[in-house]
Amino acid sequence: MRLQSRWKWSLLGAGLLLAGCGTQAASTYHAPSFPQGDPVAGAKVYAASCAVCHGATADGTPGVAPALRGRKAFGTLYTSEAQLAQFIEDYMPKNNPGSLSRQQAADVAAFIWGLNGHLGQATQNQLTASLGKAPAAPSSKAAAPSAAAPSPSSAAPAPSTAVSAAEIAAGQKLYAQVCSTCHGSNGQGGTAPALWGPGSVITAGSPMADLTTLAGFIKSAMPAAPTNGYAPGSLTPAQANDAAAYILSQNHLLK
């Protein structure tokens, strides 16, 4: 069964992935446009919509969602705060993707960006101090058993999921066309990080070892610039899933 590429991310964690390039000038790629994010407002949205999986202190929940702080990799994984906001708008929260407004997505992105030191030390200290103190969603306690807001234990599958040989084969072909220019024909890296083998940024236990997390990132951010006829964000969810399946198969991280 073809898996849907809905992020189960948890945004992040990071294995600094896919920083990609392209065969055409990167200047032809227009970054997503978002309103200015408010990191303090984002902390409140985080508490209401994200903390159920990522934890009140953003330290993550083992087997469910990765930590969102202590991740300098965000500056590599996402090349801009707007790109992170786009990912959040499209795929978060995982129990109700797309439910956040564009402003809320921008605010949460600013919160995560600032929490990881990209908005200055003073902002990072302020946001760190606010963790666990922002009000949670009014229905958070009652939401655990409901279908609309599953408990952390049921919110996401274990990292990696079984896929078919056909999906992996399709992903191999797509990788050669779109990804190999920057990540190397054998995943060894080049102008972008290695995706398997020595120095790979994808390792067992890292967020990107999860198929849906990796596929979601590929769908939202890859290729970073037009490459062999593929424009940024033009891959279908199925293509992103196939590419992720192939990459994880090369890392021996598929069950």
The most confident of the ranges 1-15, 108-122, 151-165 is 108-122
Query: pTM for this structure?
Result: 0.48
In the predicted model, is pLDDT for residue 26 greater than 70? Answer: no
Structure token pair of residue 213:
């997390």
Q: What is the mean pLDDT of residues 69-86?
A: 71
Q: What is the mean pLDDT of residues 192-213?
A: 82
pLDDT band for position 72 (cuts 50, 70, 90): low
CATH tag for 27-155 (out of 3.10.50.40, 3.90.45.10, 3.40.50.880, 1.10.760.10): 1.10.760.10
pLDDT value, residue 13: 39
Pick the residue with more confidence: 164 or 162? Answer: 164
In the predicted model, is pLDDT for residue 168 greater than 90? Answer: yes
Q: What is the distance between the alpha carbons of residues 127 and 60, in angstroms, rounded to a whole number? A: 16
pLDDT value, residue 32: 64
In the predicted model, is pLDDT for residue 8 greater than 90? Answer: no
Question: Helix, strand or coil for residue 65?
Answer: strand
In the predicted model, is pLDDT for residue 30 greater than 60? Answer: no
> DSSP letter string over 205-235?
TSGGGSHHHHHHHHHHH-SSS-BTTBPTT-S
In the chain, CATH 1.10.760.10 sits at 27-155, 158-250
pLDDT 10s digits, 78-135: 767 888 888 888 888 877 888 899 999 999 999 998 988 888 899 888 888 888 764 4
- Beta partners for 61? 65
pLDDT value, residue 208: 79
Q: What is the distance between the alpha carbons of residues 237 and 188, in angstroms, rounded to a whole number? A: 25
Rounded to the nearest 10 degrees, the angle between the axes of helix 81-91 and helix 102-115 is 130
- Written as one letter, the residue type at 99 is S
Architecture of domain 158-250: Orthogonal Bundle (1.10)
pLDDT value, residue 249: 92
Q: What is the distance between the alpha carbons of residues 96 and 250, in angstroms, rounded to a whole number? A: 31
- Alpha carbon distances (Å) from 78 to 3, 96, 109, 177: 24, 22, 11, 22
pLDDT value, residue 90: 83
**pLDDT above 70 as % of the chain:** 71
pLDDT value, residue 71: 58
pLDDT value, residue 18: 42
What value does the mean pLDDT of the chain take?
Answer: 75
Q: What are phi and psi of 27, to 5 degrees?
A: -65, -15
